[in-house]
Amino acid sequence: MLADKNIHFMAIEGVIGVGKTSLCRAISERWNAMFIEENFAENPFLPKFYENRAAYAFQTQLFFLLDRFKQLQNSALQSDLFHDLLVSDYTFDKDRIFASQNLTENEMTMYDQVSNALVHDIRKPDYVVYLQASVSTLLQRIRGRGRAMEKSIDGNYLSDLQDRYDHHFWHYTDAPVLIINTDNIDFVHNESHLQIVLNAIASCPSQTTYFVPEGN
């Protein structure tokens, strides 16, 4: 469990395919945490977005924005007597990273108007774990999980997204951030690698910390 008992809400972040959801599930099972999972499968615009980003970016982004708002708002209202920890596979702030990459200037203006009206009522995490990986590693993992709608994701898109994520979390000040480079480990299929990651997370650094575990 976490060394800092004042942490009640933890977010696992990272680019597409890095293993956020898998790590959240492992944490929820081992540490008896309540898990908030992003509803990507319920977004009716997402498959169309991967086929034509320009035409469906705004609808896709707005759905995610409102759905994430609803999930996090509901979690703040819930009184769960059986879990000391809440873990999510996203932060509300990450939504704007995708928006800034995919929306036009006019769409971004409208998006910000909606987002700014919601953000004040959002519960912020006490601790963020940012999973990092190279573009080649991300592409390998995306191909490995075999989601049909993700086949069109290319390296240039991921590289741009990775740069935006790096900038965001290196400058994040709302909570301590543990940045874990996952290129040399496979915590999804290797139990010893998973334990390395869980031990690092449990240490709860008080400031932004960069960790590069070695698989061997």
Tokens encoding 85: 């920890």
Q: What is the DSSP string of 27-89?
A: HHHHTT-EEE---GGG-TTHHHHHH-HHHHHHHHHHHHHHHHHHHHHHHHH---TT-S-EEES
CA 155 centroid distance within chain:
19
User: What tokens does 26 get?
Assistant: 């492992």
152, amino acid identity: S
Contact predicate 204/7, CB 8 Å: yes
Question: Is 89 designated active site?
Answer: yes
Compute the C-alpha angle 167/47/11, nearest 5°.
40
Catalytically annotated residue among 80, 89, 160, 163: 89
3-state DSSP call for residue 165?
helix
Question: What does the alpha-carbon distance between residue 112 and residue 109 come to, in Å, rounded to a whole number?
Answer: 5
Q: Which residues are catalytic?
A: 89
